[in-house]
Structure 1
C-alpha cells in the first residue's frame, strides 16, 4: 500500500490558524481602522503580512481580549 504524500502528513500534524483581515477584526471588536492599526503598531496585537495584506490570527484576537480582561480586573 502506498503511503500518503508528505504534504498530507504535514497538514494533518500542524494546526490550522484562522486569519482575519483588518476589516473582519474591526467588525469583531467594533473598532475603527485607525484604532486597529494603532494596536498593531504598539505591539498589543500580533499580525502577519502576506504580500501587501495584513492578517491577524484568531489566536491573537483571543489573547488580546484575555489580556485586556486581566488588565481591567487588576
Structure 2
C-alpha cells in the first residue's frame, strides 16, 4: 500500500463488482479480498481490489 492508496467502502466495492453486500463480506471473510478496519468501518484498499480482479482473470485464463 502506498500513500496515495484509496480506501473504498463496502458499498463502493459492491457497485464496482456489481455484487451484493454478503458477497463482498464473504470475499473479505475468506481472505480473497484484503481489508482493514478503521474504527467500526471496513475499508478495502483499491490495490487489493485490483489484485483480486487480476487473480481472477488469471484463473479464468488458465
TM-score bin (small chain): over 0.9
TM-score normalised to the size of structure 1? 0.79
> Which residue of structure 2 aligns with residue 17 of structure 1?
5
> Which residue of structure 1 aligns with residue 53 of structure 2?
65
* 3-state DSSP of counterpart to 2:56: helix
Which runs of 5 or more residues in structure 1 are unaligned? 1-13
Q: What is the deviation of 1:16? A: 1.6
Q: What is the deviation of 1:15? A: 2.6
Query: In the TM superposition, what whole-angstrom CA distance separates every residue of 1:2-53 from its partner, at most 9, and x where no partner exists?
Result: xxxxxxxxxxxx6321010000000001010000000000000000000100
Greater relative CO (CA pairs within 8 A, separation 6+): 2
- Pick the structure with greater CA Rg: 1
Which runs of 5 or more residues in structure 2 are unaligned? none
> Which residue of structure 2 aligns with residue 7 of structure 1?
none
Q: Hey, what's the Cα distance between the residues in 2 that align with 1:69 and 1:17?
A: 22
> Which residue of structure 2 aligns with residue 9 of structure 1?
none
TM-score normalised to the size of structure 2? 0.94
> What is the number of residues matched between the two proteins?
61
